[in-house]
C-alpha cells in the first residue's frame, strides 16, 4: 500500500509541477495568487522570530543538520540518503530557476513586506519548499506516523514562511513542494526496494 501512495504522490507532484511551471512562465501574478500572498505576507510581526526559525528547515544548511542528526543517531543510511537527496533537490531547483525566469514578489508586486534580507535571484520554484519537503519525506522514513506528520507540518510552515517574509509567491512554493514531493517519494520508493 505504501508504494501505491508514493506513486500517487509522484504523479500528483508532477501534475502540480507542470501546471505551476506553465503559470509561472507568464511572469504575472494572478489576482487569486496575489490575494493569497497578501493574506500571508501581511500577517502580524509578532510571529516573525518563530517563523524565521522554522523556515531554516528548508535551507541548504538543514540538509547537513538532518544528515548529522541521523548519522549520530546510528541511522547511517538515512543520513547519507538525506544528504544526497537534499543536495540533489537544492541543485535541481537552482537549475530550474533560469528556465522559468520568474522574479521575486518585489519584482512583480507593489507593497511587499520584506521581513528578512531581500532575497536575490529568481523566485520560481522555491528551494526552501523543495528542500524541506524532500527532507520531511526522506529523513522520516520508517519513523512513527506522528513524526512523519510533524515533519510534513514543518515543511508546510517553511513554505508559508517564505511568503510571509516576502521572498516567494504562492506559485513558487507550489513548484518547490512539487519538486520536493516527487523527489522525496521517488527516493523513498527506491529505498523500499
Residue 30: inside a domain, yes or no?
no
Kindly state the cell numbers that stand for 106: 518585489
Question: What would the pLDDT profile of 10-26 be if each residue is shown by its tens digit?
Answer: 999 999 999 999 999 99
Question: Structurally, how many domains does the chain consist of?
Answer: 1
**Are 169 and 26 in contact, with CB atoms under 8 Å apart?**
no
Residue 126: inside a domain, yes or no?
yes
Residue 61: inside a domain, yes or no?
yes
Residue 185: inside a domain, yes or no?
yes
pLDDT attached to residue 188: 84
Q: DSSP letters of 168-189?
A: --HHHHHHHHHHHHHHHHHHHH
d(CA 75, CA 87): 18
Cα→Cα distances 45→27, 52, 129, 162, Å? 29, 11, 21, 14
**Are 163 and 170 in contact, with CB atoms under 8 Å apart?**
yes
Question: What would the pLDDT profile of 97-130 be if each residue is shown by its tens digit?
Answer: 999 999 999 999 999 999 977 788 999 999 999 9
Residue 67: inside a domain, yes or no?
yes
Domain of 175 in residue numbering reads as: 2-20+45-192
Residue 36: inside a domain, yes or no?
no
Residue 27: inside a domain, yes or no?
no
Q: What is the mean pLDDT of the chain?
A: 93
Residue 29: inside a domain, yes or no?
no
**Are 71 and 157 in contact, with CB atoms under 8 Å apart?**
no
pLDDT attached to residue 1: 52
Each residue's pLDDT expressed in tens, for the chain with a length of 193 residues:
588 888 999 999 999 999 999 999 998 999 999 999 999 999 999 999 999 999 999 999 999 999 999 999 999 999 999 999 999 999 999 999 999 999 999 999 999 999 977 788 999 999 999 999 999 999 887 778 888 899 999 999 999 999 999 999 999 999 999 999 999 999 988 876 6
Amino acid at each position: 500500500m505504501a508504494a501505491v501512495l508514493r506513486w500517487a504522490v509522484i504523479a500528483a507532484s508532477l501534475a502540480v509541477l507542470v501546471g505551476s511551471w506553465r503559470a509561472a512562465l507568464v511572469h504575472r501574478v494572478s489576482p487569486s495568487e496575489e490575494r493569497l500572498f497578501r493574506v500571508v505576507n501581511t500577517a502580524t510581526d509578532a510571529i516573525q522570530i518563530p517563523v524565521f526559525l522554522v523556515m531554516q528547515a528548508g535551507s541548504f544548511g538543514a540538509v547537513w543538520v538532518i544528515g548529522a542528526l541521523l548519522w549520530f543517531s546510528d541511522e547511517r543510511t538515512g543520513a547519507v540518503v538525506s544528504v544526497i537527496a537534499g543536495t540533489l533537490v537544492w541543485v535541481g531547483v537552482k537549475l530550474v530557476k533560469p528556465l522559468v525566469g520568474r522574479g521575486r514578489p518585489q519584482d512583480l508586486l507593489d507593497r511587499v513586506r520584506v521581513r528578512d534580507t531581500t532575497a536575490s535571484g529568481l523566485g520560481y520554484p522555491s528551494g526552501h519548499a523543495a528542500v524541506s519537503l524532500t527532507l520531511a519525506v526522506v529523513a522520516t522514513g520508517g519513523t512513527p506516523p506522528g513524526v512523519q506528520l510533524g515533519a510534513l507540518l514543518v515543511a508546510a510552515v517553511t513554505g508559508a514562511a517564505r511568503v510571509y517574509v516576502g521572498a516567494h509567491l504562492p506559485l513558487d512554493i507550489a513548484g518547490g513542494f512539487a519538486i520536493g514531493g516527487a523527489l522525496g517519494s521517488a527516493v523513498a520508493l527506491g529505498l523500499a526496494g
